[in-house]
Amino acid sequence: MTTTTMQTLAPSTLPGPRRIPFITHAANILRLSTQPLALLEDYHRRFGDFSAMTRFQNGKQGTVLAFGPEFNKTVLGNPALFHSPSLSMLGDSALTRLTSGLVSMNGERHKQQRRLMMPAFHKQAVSTYRDVMVGYTEKMLEGWQVGKQIDLMPEIRQLVLRIVSHTLFGLDDPTQDEQLGNLIYGWTRMSNSAPNVLFPPLRRQLNRLSEQLERELLAVINQKRAAGTPGNDVLSVLIQAHDEDGTRLTDTELIGHLAILFVAGHETTVNALGWTLILLARYPALRMALVEELKSTLGGAAPTTEQAYALPLLDYTIKESMRLLPPVVYTVRVGSEPFELGGYNLAKDSAVLLSHYITHRLPEIYANPDQFQPERWAALDVSPYEYLPFSAGARMCIGATFASLEMRIVLAMLLSRFQVMPLGKVDYQVAGSILQPKGTVPSMIGLPTERREALSFSSGLTQLIH
Protein backbone atom coordinates (compact mmCIF):
# COMPACT_ATOMS: atom_id res chain seq x y z
CA MET A 1 0.00 0.00 0.00
CA THR A 2 1.09 3.58 -0.45
CA THR A 3 2.72 5.22 2.53
CA THR A 4 2.76 8.89 3.48
CA THR A 5 4.02 8.66 7.08
CA MET A 6 7.22 6.68 6.62
CA GLN A 7 10.51 8.20 5.51
CA THR A 8 10.91 8.03 1.74
CA LEU A 9 13.73 5.82 0.53
CA ALA A 10 16.07 5.69 -2.43
CA PRO A 11 15.02 3.25 -5.17
CA SER A 12 18.28 1.33 -4.72
CA THR A 13 16.71 -0.20 -1.58
CA LEU A 14 13.60 -1.47 -3.38
CA PRO A 15 12.77 -5.15 -2.82
CA GLY A 16 13.62 -7.42 -5.71
CA PRO A 17 16.04 -10.10 -6.87
CA ARG A 18 19.79 -9.64 -6.81
CA ARG A 19 20.56 -7.36 -9.70
CA ILE A 20 23.33 -8.27 -12.12
CA PRO A 21 24.10 -5.30 -14.42
CA PHE A 22 22.34 -5.60 -17.79
CA ILE A 23 21.51 -9.30 -17.31
CA THR A 24 18.68 -8.88 -14.77
CA HIS A 25 17.10 -6.09 -16.80
CA ALA A 26 17.22 -8.01 -20.08
CA ALA A 27 16.02 -11.24 -18.46
CA ASN A 28 13.00 -9.58 -16.85
CA ILE A 29 12.00 -7.77 -20.04
CA LEU A 30 12.21 -11.07 -21.93
CA ARG A 31 10.25 -12.87 -19.21
CA LEU A 32 7.54 -10.21 -19.18
CA SER A 33 7.09 -10.64 -22.94
CA THR A 34 7.11 -14.45 -22.89
CA GLN A 35 5.82 -15.51 -19.44
CA PRO A 36 4.12 -12.48 -17.87
CA LEU A 37 1.83 -14.40 -15.52
CA ALA A 38 4.73 -16.40 -14.12
CA LEU A 39 6.75 -13.21 -13.58
CA LEU A 40 3.87 -11.35 -11.92
CA GLU A 41 3.01 -14.22 -9.59
CA ASP A 42 6.67 -14.86 -8.77
CA TYR A 43 7.40 -11.25 -7.82
CA HIS A 44 4.18 -10.92 -5.82
CA ARG A 45 4.90 -14.10 -3.88
CA ARG A 46 8.58 -13.30 -3.20
CA PHE A 47 8.60 -9.54 -2.74
CA GLY A 48 5.05 -8.47 -1.89
CA ASP A 49 3.02 -5.59 -3.25
CA PHE A 50 5.91 -3.34 -4.31
CA SER A 51 9.21 -4.28 -5.94
CA ALA A 52 11.67 -3.36 -8.66
CA MET A 53 11.43 -5.29 -11.91
CA THR A 54 14.29 -3.48 -13.64
CA ARG A 55 17.36 -2.00 -12.01
CA PHE A 56 17.46 1.57 -10.71
CA GLN A 57 21.02 2.94 -10.69
CA ASN A 58 22.37 6.38 -9.84
CA GLY A 59 18.87 7.83 -9.53
CA LYS A 60 17.91 6.86 -13.10
CA GLN A 61 14.62 5.49 -14.31
CA GLY A 62 13.44 1.94 -13.83
CA THR A 63 10.27 -0.15 -13.60
CA VAL A 64 8.40 -1.07 -10.43
CA LEU A 65 5.66 -3.62 -9.91
CA ALA A 66 2.83 -2.21 -7.78
CA PHE A 67 0.08 -4.67 -6.87
CA GLY A 68 -3.32 -4.13 -5.28
CA PRO A 69 -6.23 -1.68 -5.20
CA GLU A 70 -4.47 1.11 -3.31
CA PHE A 71 -1.69 1.31 -5.87
CA ASN A 72 -4.28 1.01 -8.65
CA LYS A 73 -6.14 3.98 -7.19
CA THR A 74 -3.00 6.06 -6.63
CA VAL A 75 -1.73 5.56 -10.16
CA LEU A 76 -4.90 5.28 -12.26
CA GLY A 77 -6.60 8.01 -10.23
CA ASN A 78 -3.86 10.55 -11.00
CA PRO A 79 -3.52 10.77 -14.80
CA ALA A 80 -1.77 14.14 -14.56
CA LEU A 81 1.23 12.50 -12.89
CA PHE A 82 1.06 8.98 -14.29
CA HIS A 83 0.93 9.06 -18.08
CA SER A 84 0.05 6.35 -20.53
CA PRO A 85 3.17 5.39 -22.51
CA SER A 86 3.16 6.84 -25.99
CA LEU A 87 2.56 4.30 -28.72
CA SER A 88 3.75 6.73 -31.38
CA MET A 89 6.98 5.76 -33.04
CA LEU A 90 9.31 6.17 -35.97
CA GLY A 91 8.86 9.88 -36.66
CA ASP A 92 6.32 11.32 -39.08
CA SER A 93 4.84 8.15 -40.56
CA ALA A 94 1.52 6.41 -41.14
CA LEU A 95 2.45 3.95 -38.40
CA THR A 96 2.92 6.79 -35.92
CA ARG A 97 -0.39 8.39 -36.86
CA LEU A 98 -2.24 5.06 -36.58
CA THR A 99 -0.89 4.55 -33.05
CA SER A 100 -1.54 8.10 -31.83
CA GLY A 101 -5.16 7.66 -30.73
CA LEU A 102 -6.78 8.21 -27.36
CA VAL A 103 -4.82 5.44 -25.62
CA SER A 104 -1.48 7.16 -26.19
CA MET A 105 -2.66 10.72 -25.38
CA ASN A 106 -2.12 12.42 -22.04
CA GLY A 107 -2.94 15.58 -20.13
CA GLU A 108 -5.32 18.22 -21.43
CA ARG A 109 -5.26 16.78 -24.94
CA HIS A 110 -6.52 13.44 -23.65
CA LYS A 111 -9.31 15.18 -21.71
CA GLN A 112 -10.36 17.25 -24.71
CA GLN A 113 -10.31 14.31 -27.15
CA ARG A 114 -12.14 11.99 -24.75
CA ARG A 115 -14.79 14.68 -24.20
CA LEU A 116 -15.36 14.88 -27.95
CA MET A 117 -15.59 11.10 -28.27
CA MET A 118 -17.81 10.30 -25.28
CA PRO A 119 -21.19 10.98 -26.94
CA ALA A 120 -20.59 8.02 -29.26
CA PHE A 121 -20.26 5.71 -26.24
CA HIS A 122 -22.93 6.96 -23.85
CA LYS A 123 -25.33 4.22 -22.81
CA GLN A 124 -28.15 5.71 -24.90
CA ALA A 125 -25.95 5.76 -28.01
CA VAL A 126 -24.71 2.23 -27.39
CA SER A 127 -28.28 0.92 -27.11
CA THR A 128 -28.84 1.95 -30.74
CA TYR A 129 -26.24 -0.65 -31.76
CA ARG A 130 -28.29 -3.47 -30.24
CA ASP A 131 -29.93 -4.43 -33.55
CA VAL A 132 -26.54 -4.65 -35.28
CA MET A 133 -25.25 -6.94 -32.53
CA VAL A 134 -28.36 -9.13 -32.77
CA GLY A 135 -28.28 -9.23 -36.58
CA TYR A 136 -24.70 -10.41 -36.92
CA THR A 137 -25.06 -12.91 -34.06
CA GLU A 138 -28.16 -14.33 -35.74
CA LYS A 139 -26.25 -14.63 -39.02
CA MET A 140 -23.45 -16.57 -37.32
CA LEU A 141 -25.82 -18.91 -35.51
CA GLU A 142 -27.76 -19.63 -38.71
CA GLY A 143 -24.58 -21.24 -40.01
CA TRP A 144 -24.22 -23.49 -36.96
CA GLN A 145 -25.67 -27.00 -36.81
CA VAL A 146 -25.84 -29.53 -34.01
CA GLY A 147 -23.07 -32.06 -34.54
CA LYS A 148 -21.02 -29.67 -36.67
CA GLN A 149 -17.40 -28.99 -35.75
CA ILE A 150 -16.14 -25.40 -35.62
CA ASP A 151 -12.96 -23.59 -34.65
CA LEU A 152 -14.32 -21.51 -31.78
CA MET A 153 -11.96 -18.56 -31.70
CA PRO A 154 -12.04 -17.74 -35.45
CA GLU A 155 -15.86 -17.92 -35.34
CA ILE A 156 -16.07 -15.50 -32.42
CA ARG A 157 -13.34 -13.30 -33.87
CA GLN A 158 -15.19 -12.90 -37.18
CA LEU A 159 -18.48 -12.15 -35.41
CA VAL A 160 -16.94 -9.42 -33.26
CA LEU A 161 -15.05 -8.02 -36.25
CA ARG A 162 -18.32 -7.63 -38.17
CA ILE A 163 -20.10 -5.98 -35.24
CA VAL A 164 -17.24 -3.58 -34.49
CA SER A 165 -16.63 -2.73 -38.15
CA HIS A 166 -20.31 -1.98 -38.80
CA THR A 167 -20.79 0.12 -35.70
CA LEU A 168 -17.53 2.02 -36.25
CA PHE A 169 -17.90 2.79 -39.95
CA GLY A 170 -21.57 2.18 -40.85
CA LEU A 171 -20.96 2.03 -44.61
CA ASP A 172 -23.78 1.34 -47.04
CA ASP A 173 -22.13 -1.90 -48.11
CA PRO A 174 -21.53 -4.19 -45.07
CA THR A 175 -18.89 -6.01 -47.10
CA GLN A 176 -16.85 -2.81 -47.21
CA ASP A 177 -17.14 -2.53 -43.42
CA GLU A 178 -15.85 -6.08 -43.06
CA GLN A 179 -13.00 -5.60 -45.54
CA LEU A 180 -11.83 -2.53 -43.65
CA GLY A 181 -12.09 -4.41 -40.36
CA ASN A 182 -10.00 -7.27 -41.74
CA LEU A 183 -7.39 -4.78 -42.94
CA ILE A 184 -7.15 -3.21 -39.47
CA TYR A 185 -6.96 -6.64 -37.86
CA GLY A 186 -4.09 -7.66 -40.15
CA TRP A 187 -2.30 -4.40 -39.41
CA THR A 188 -2.81 -4.94 -35.66
CA ARG A 189 -1.27 -8.39 -35.74
CA MET A 190 1.72 -7.14 -37.71
CA SER A 191 2.29 -3.98 -35.63
CA ASN A 192 2.07 -5.92 -32.34
CA SER A 193 4.96 -8.15 -33.36
CA ALA A 194 8.25 -6.72 -32.05
CA PRO A 195 10.38 -8.07 -34.94
CA ASN A 196 8.16 -6.22 -37.44
CA VAL A 197 8.92 -2.96 -35.66
CA LEU A 198 12.60 -3.54 -34.83
CA PHE A 199 14.03 -5.09 -38.01
CA PRO A 200 14.20 -2.78 -41.07
CA PRO A 201 13.18 -5.34 -43.75
CA LEU A 202 10.08 -6.32 -41.78
CA ARG A 203 9.39 -2.72 -40.77
CA ARG A 204 9.25 -1.69 -44.43
CA GLN A 205 6.44 -4.21 -44.93
CA LEU A 206 4.66 -2.87 -41.85
CA ASN A 207 5.08 0.70 -43.10
CA ARG A 208 3.54 -0.21 -46.47
CA LEU A 209 0.53 -1.82 -44.76
CA SER A 210 0.23 1.22 -42.45
CA GLU A 211 0.18 3.55 -45.45
CA GLN A 212 -2.49 1.43 -47.13
CA LEU A 213 -4.65 1.43 -44.00
CA GLU A 214 -4.26 5.18 -43.53
CA ARG A 215 -5.39 5.76 -47.15
CA GLU A 216 -8.42 3.50 -46.66
CA LEU A 217 -9.45 5.21 -43.43
CA LEU A 218 -9.04 8.66 -44.95
CA ALA A 219 -11.17 7.61 -47.93
CA VAL A 220 -13.93 6.43 -45.58
CA ILE A 221 -13.76 9.69 -43.60
CA ASN A 222 -14.08 11.70 -46.83
CA GLN A 223 -16.90 9.42 -48.00
CA LYS A 224 -18.79 10.05 -44.76
CA ARG A 225 -18.29 13.80 -44.96
CA ALA A 226 -19.41 13.91 -48.60
CA ALA A 227 -22.60 11.99 -47.80
CA GLY A 228 -23.88 15.01 -45.87
CA THR A 229 -26.39 12.98 -43.86
CA PRO A 230 -24.77 11.72 -40.66
CA GLY A 231 -25.54 8.19 -39.53
CA ASN A 232 -25.49 6.82 -36.00
CA ASP A 233 -22.22 4.93 -36.49
CA VAL A 234 -19.26 5.95 -34.35
CA LEU A 235 -17.38 7.62 -37.20
CA SER A 236 -20.37 9.81 -38.09
CA VAL A 237 -20.73 10.88 -34.46
CA LEU A 238 -17.00 11.67 -34.22
CA ILE A 239 -17.06 13.71 -37.43
CA GLN A 240 -19.93 15.81 -36.05
CA ALA A 241 -18.46 16.19 -32.56
CA HIS A 242 -17.19 19.62 -31.57
CA ASP A 243 -16.24 21.64 -28.51
CA GLU A 244 -18.07 24.76 -27.39
CA ASP A 245 -15.59 26.83 -29.38
CA GLY A 246 -16.29 24.78 -32.52
CA THR A 247 -13.12 22.69 -32.38
CA ARG A 248 -13.55 19.40 -34.24
CA LEU A 249 -11.43 16.29 -34.61
CA THR A 250 -8.89 16.52 -37.41
CA ASP A 251 -8.44 13.80 -40.01
CA THR A 252 -5.21 12.70 -38.32
CA GLU A 253 -6.97 12.48 -34.95
CA LEU A 254 -9.86 10.53 -36.48
CA ILE A 255 -7.46 8.06 -38.10
CA GLY A 256 -5.66 7.41 -34.81
CA HIS A 257 -8.90 7.07 -32.85
CA LEU A 258 -10.50 4.68 -35.36
CA ALA A 259 -7.52 2.34 -35.34
CA ILE A 260 -7.33 2.25 -31.54
CA LEU A 261 -11.11 1.90 -31.12
CA PHE A 262 -11.13 -1.09 -33.43
CA VAL A 263 -8.27 -2.76 -31.57
CA ALA A 264 -9.81 -2.05 -28.16
CA GLY A 265 -13.29 -3.12 -29.26
CA HIS A 266 -12.18 -6.28 -30.99
CA GLU A 267 -9.39 -8.23 -29.33
CA THR A 268 -10.43 -7.98 -25.69
CA THR A 269 -14.09 -8.79 -26.42
CA VAL A 270 -13.16 -11.81 -28.54
CA ASN A 271 -11.13 -13.29 -25.70
CA ALA A 272 -13.68 -12.44 -23.00
CA LEU A 273 -16.37 -14.25 -25.00
CA GLY A 274 -14.09 -17.18 -25.76
CA TRP A 275 -13.05 -17.63 -22.13
CA THR A 276 -16.64 -17.45 -20.91
CA LEU A 277 -17.77 -20.20 -23.30
CA ILE A 278 -14.77 -22.34 -22.36
CA LEU A 279 -15.44 -21.91 -18.63
CA LEU A 280 -19.09 -22.86 -19.13
CA ALA A 281 -17.94 -26.06 -20.85
CA ARG A 282 -15.79 -26.72 -17.78
CA TYR A 283 -18.77 -26.24 -15.43
CA PRO A 284 -21.78 -27.94 -17.09
CA ALA A 285 -24.14 -27.55 -14.10
CA LEU A 286 -23.66 -23.79 -14.21
CA ARG A 287 -24.24 -23.75 -17.96
CA MET A 288 -27.51 -25.68 -17.54
CA ALA A 289 -28.70 -23.22 -14.88
CA LEU A 290 -27.85 -20.34 -17.20
CA VAL A 291 -29.78 -21.97 -20.06
CA GLU A 292 -32.79 -22.22 -17.77
CA GLU A 293 -32.53 -18.54 -16.85
CA LEU A 294 -32.38 -17.56 -20.52
CA LYS A 295 -35.31 -19.81 -21.42
CA SER A 296 -37.55 -18.51 -18.65
CA THR A 297 -36.74 -14.85 -19.30
CA LEU A 298 -36.33 -14.66 -23.08
CA GLY A 299 -38.26 -17.68 -24.35
CA GLY A 300 -35.83 -18.08 -27.25
CA ALA A 301 -35.94 -14.44 -28.38
CA ALA A 302 -32.96 -12.12 -28.61
CA PRO A 303 -32.74 -9.88 -25.55
CA THR A 304 -33.65 -6.23 -25.60
CA THR A 305 -31.07 -3.88 -24.14
CA GLU A 306 -33.01 -3.83 -20.86
CA GLN A 307 -33.30 -7.63 -20.76
CA ALA A 308 -29.60 -8.05 -21.47
CA TYR A 309 -28.86 -6.37 -18.14
CA ALA A 310 -31.68 -8.13 -16.26
CA LEU A 311 -30.24 -11.66 -16.36
CA PRO A 312 -28.51 -12.09 -12.98
CA LEU A 313 -26.72 -15.38 -13.59
CA LEU A 314 -25.48 -14.24 -17.00
CA ASP A 315 -24.21 -11.04 -15.39
CA TYR A 316 -22.44 -12.96 -12.60
CA THR A 317 -20.91 -15.39 -15.11
CA ILE A 318 -19.46 -12.64 -17.30
CA LYS A 319 -18.10 -10.76 -14.29
CA GLU A 320 -16.49 -13.89 -12.87
CA SER A 321 -15.00 -14.88 -16.21
CA MET A 322 -13.41 -11.44 -16.59
CA ARG A 323 -12.20 -11.55 -12.99
CA LEU A 324 -10.53 -14.93 -13.23
CA LEU A 325 -9.23 -14.58 -16.80
CA PRO A 326 -9.11 -10.85 -17.51
CA PRO A 327 -8.46 -10.07 -21.19
CA VAL A 328 -5.70 -7.62 -20.17
CA VAL A 329 -3.38 -8.91 -17.44
CA TYR A 330 -1.33 -5.78 -16.79
CA THR A 331 -1.06 -2.11 -17.68
CA VAL A 332 1.80 0.40 -17.50
CA ARG A 333 1.98 4.08 -16.53
CA VAL A 334 5.01 6.38 -16.64
CA GLY A 335 5.77 9.21 -14.20
CA SER A 336 5.64 12.56 -15.99
CA GLU A 337 7.81 14.02 -13.21
CA PRO A 338 9.63 12.63 -10.14
CA PHE A 339 7.17 10.92 -7.82
CA GLU A 340 6.82 9.08 -4.53
CA LEU A 341 5.20 5.67 -4.48
CA GLY A 342 5.25 2.99 -1.81
CA GLY A 343 7.57 5.06 0.34
CA TYR A 344 10.22 5.45 -2.37
CA ASN A 345 11.34 8.47 -4.38
CA LEU A 346 11.37 7.54 -8.05
CA ALA A 347 12.77 9.45 -11.01
CA LYS A 348 10.77 11.01 -13.81
CA ASP A 349 9.96 8.54 -16.62
CA SER A 350 10.09 5.59 -14.23
CA ALA A 351 7.43 3.05 -15.16
CA VAL A 352 4.80 1.54 -12.86
CA LEU A 353 3.35 -1.82 -13.86
CA LEU A 354 -0.10 -2.56 -12.38
CA SER A 355 -1.79 -5.93 -12.76
CA HIS A 356 -5.50 -6.62 -13.26
CA TYR A 357 -4.66 -10.31 -13.00
CA ILE A 358 -2.99 -10.09 -9.58
CA THR A 359 -5.61 -7.68 -8.19
CA HIS A 360 -8.43 -10.03 -9.22
CA ARG A 361 -6.80 -12.89 -7.28
CA LEU A 362 -6.13 -11.21 -3.95
CA PRO A 363 -7.69 -13.41 -1.22
CA GLU A 364 -8.44 -10.41 0.99
CA ILE A 365 -10.89 -9.25 -1.71
CA TYR A 366 -12.02 -12.52 -3.30
CA ALA A 367 -12.44 -15.67 -1.21
CA ASN A 368 -11.06 -18.75 -2.99
CA PRO A 369 -9.67 -16.43 -5.68
CA ASP A 370 -8.44 -19.19 -8.03
CA GLN A 371 -11.89 -20.80 -8.24
CA PHE A 372 -14.63 -20.00 -10.77
CA GLN A 373 -17.59 -19.01 -8.58
CA PRO A 374 -20.07 -16.69 -10.37
CA GLU A 375 -22.42 -16.86 -7.38
CA ARG A 376 -19.95 -14.75 -5.38
CA TRP A 377 -21.20 -11.67 -7.26
CA ALA A 378 -24.67 -11.93 -5.71
CA ALA A 379 -23.25 -10.44 -2.49
CA LEU A 380 -19.89 -9.04 -3.56
CA ASP A 381 -19.38 -5.27 -3.40
CA VAL A 382 -16.02 -4.16 -4.80
CA SER A 383 -14.54 -0.80 -5.74
CA PRO A 384 -13.50 0.15 -9.30
CA TYR A 385 -9.87 -0.36 -8.24
CA GLU A 386 -10.52 -3.88 -6.90
CA TYR A 387 -12.27 -5.08 -10.07
CA LEU A 388 -10.97 -3.46 -13.24
CA PRO A 389 -11.36 -5.59 -16.39
CA PHE A 390 -11.78 -2.32 -18.34
CA SER A 391 -9.20 -0.47 -16.22
CA ALA A 392 -10.36 2.39 -13.97
CA GLY A 393 -10.17 6.11 -13.39
CA ALA A 394 -10.21 8.85 -16.01
CA ARG A 395 -8.68 6.50 -18.59
CA MET A 396 -11.16 3.65 -18.15
CA CYS A 397 -11.88 1.97 -21.49
CA ILE A 398 -14.20 4.32 -23.39
CA GLY A 399 -15.94 1.35 -25.01
CA ALA A 400 -16.71 -0.56 -21.80
CA THR A 401 -20.49 -0.03 -22.10
CA PHE A 402 -20.41 -1.19 -25.72
CA ALA A 403 -18.42 -4.33 -24.89
CA SER A 404 -20.65 -5.16 -21.92
CA LEU A 405 -23.83 -5.03 -24.02
CA GLU A 406 -22.21 -6.93 -26.87
CA MET A 407 -21.08 -9.80 -24.65
CA ARG A 408 -24.49 -10.13 -23.00
CA ILE A 409 -26.37 -10.19 -26.29
CA VAL A 410 -24.01 -12.65 -28.00
CA LEU A 411 -23.94 -15.05 -25.06
CA ALA A 412 -27.69 -14.88 -24.44
CA MET A 413 -28.48 -15.72 -28.05
CA LEU A 414 -25.79 -18.38 -28.44
CA LEU A 415 -26.42 -20.23 -25.17
CA SER A 416 -30.19 -20.28 -25.75
CA ARG A 417 -29.69 -22.35 -28.93
CA PHE A 418 -26.43 -24.23 -28.64
CA GLN A 419 -23.63 -25.35 -26.40
CA VAL A 420 -19.99 -25.24 -27.41
CA MET A 421 -18.03 -28.39 -26.59
CA PRO A 422 -14.25 -28.06 -27.06
CA LEU A 423 -12.82 -31.35 -28.32
CA GLY A 424 -9.47 -31.29 -26.54
CA LYS A 425 -7.75 -29.82 -23.52
CA VAL A 426 -7.75 -26.02 -23.63
CA ASP A 427 -4.59 -24.08 -22.89
CA TYR A 428 -3.76 -20.36 -22.63
CA GLN A 429 -1.17 -17.94 -23.92
CA VAL A 430 -0.42 -14.27 -23.35
CA ALA A 431 0.24 -12.11 -26.40
CA GLY A 432 1.62 -8.78 -25.23
CA SER A 433 -0.64 -8.14 -22.26
CA ILE A 434 -3.65 -10.01 -23.71
CA LEU A 435 -4.67 -13.32 -22.10
CA GLN A 436 -6.20 -15.58 -24.73
CA PRO A 437 -7.01 -19.23 -25.45
CA LYS A 438 -4.11 -20.91 -27.20
CA GLY A 439 -4.82 -21.85 -30.78
CA THR A 440 -8.21 -22.20 -32.39
CA VAL A 441 -10.06 -24.42 -29.84
CA PRO A 442 -11.75 -27.02 -32.14
CA SER A 443 -15.27 -27.56 -30.80
CA MET A 444 -18.44 -29.52 -31.43
CA ILE A 445 -21.84 -27.80 -31.46
CA GLY A 446 -24.48 -29.41 -29.28
CA LEU A 447 -28.01 -28.76 -28.08
CA PRO A 448 -28.23 -26.43 -25.07
CA THR A 449 -30.06 -29.05 -22.98
CA GLU A 450 -27.60 -31.85 -23.78
CA ARG A 451 -25.64 -32.90 -20.69
CA ARG A 452 -21.92 -33.31 -21.26
CA GLU A 453 -18.88 -34.16 -19.18
CA ALA A 454 -16.81 -31.28 -17.88
CA LEU A 455 -14.15 -29.98 -20.23
CA SER A 456 -10.52 -30.79 -19.39
CA PHE A 457 -7.97 -28.01 -19.12
CA SER A 458 -4.25 -28.22 -19.83
CA SER A 459 -1.94 -28.48 -16.84
CA GLY A 460 -0.99 -24.83 -17.38
CA LEU A 461 -4.57 -23.58 -17.34
CA THR A 462 -5.38 -25.83 -14.37
CA GLN A 463 -2.73 -23.93 -12.42
CA LEU A 464 -4.70 -20.73 -13.05
CA ILE A 465 -8.09 -22.23 -12.16
CA HIS A 466 -8.12 -24.73 -9.29
Q: List, for residues 349-405, the tens digit of each pLDDT value.
A: 999 999 999 999 999 999 999 999 999 999 999 999 999 999 999 999 999 999 999
How sure is the predictor about 90, in pLDDT bands with cuts at 50, 70 and 90? Answer: low
**Distance separating the N- and C-terminal Cα atoms of the chain:** 28
| Beta strand pairing call for 351-354 and 63-66 | parallel
Residue 27 has a pLDDT of: 80
Residue 421 has a pLDDT of: 95
pLDDT reading at 11 higher than 90 = no
Write the CA distances from 80 to 74, 105, 115, 333, integer angstroms.
11, 11, 16, 11
Evaluate whether 6 touches 343 at the Cβ level (below 8 Å): yes
Evaluate whether 229 touches 289 at the Cβ level (below 8 Å): no
Query: What total number of domains does the chain contain?
Result: 1
349 domain-assigned: yes
pTM passes above 0.85: yes
Residue 1 has a pLDDT of: 44
pLDDT reading at 24 higher than 70 = no
Q: How much is the mean pLDDT over the chain? A: 90
pLDDT reading at 146 higher than 70 = yes
81 domain-assigned: yes
pLDDT reading at 336 higher than 60 = yes
Distance separating alpha carbons of residues 237 and 231, to the nearest angstrom? 7
Query: Which of the residue ranges 16-20, 53-57, 356-360, 459-463 has the most confident prediction, judged by mean pLDDT?
Result: 356-360
Evaluate whether 268 touches 434 at the Cβ level (below 8 Å): yes
Determine the angle formed by the axes of helices 284-298 and 251-282, rounding to 10 degrees. 110
Query: Does 37 or 246 have the greater pLDDT score?
Result: 37
Residue 3 has a pLDDT of: 42
Distance separating alpha carbons of residues 336 and 110, to the nearest angstrom? 14
Distance separating alpha carbons of residues 121 and 141, to the nearest angstrom? 27
1 domain-assigned: no
Q: Model confidence over 211-240: pLDDT tens digits?
A: 999 999 999 999 888 887 777 899 999 999
How sure is the predictor about 55, in pLDDT bands with cuts at 50, 70 and 90? Answer: low
360 domain-assigned: yes
Spatial neighbors of 191 by CB under 8 A, at least 6 apart, are: 95, 98, 99, 197, 206, 210
Q: Which among 129, 130, 216 is positioned nearest to 168, based on CA atoms? A: 129
pLDDT reading at 4 higher than 60 = no
Distance separating alpha carbons of residues 72 and 70, to the nearest angstrom? 5
4 domain-assigned: no
pLDDT reading at 272 higher than 90 = yes
Provide the residue range defining the domain that includes 284: 11-464
Evaluate whether 39 touches 31 at the Cβ level (below 8 Å): yes
Residue 351 has a pLDDT of: 94
* CA angle centred on 25, ends 23 and 29, rounded to 5°: 115
How sure is the predictor about 56, in pLDDT bands with cuts at 50, 70 and 90? Answer: low
Residue 174 has a pLDDT of: 83
442 domain-assigned: yes
Q: Which among 241, 268, 269, 232 is positioned nearest to 129, based on CA atoms? A: 232
Distance separating alpha carbons of residues 75 and 430, to the nearest angstrom? 24
The three-class DSSP label of residue 82 is strand
The three-class DSSP label of residue 434 is strand
pLDDT reading at 452 higher than 90 = no
Q: How many CA atoms lie within 13 A of 391 on its CB side?
A: 23
pLDDT reading at 6 higher than 50 = no
5 domain-assigned: no
Mean pLDDT value across residues 419-443: 92
CATH code of 118's domain: 1.10.630.10
Q: List helix spans (H) across 35-93.
A: 36-47, 69-76
Evaluate whether 428 touches 438 at the Cβ level (below 8 Å): yes
3 domain-assigned: no
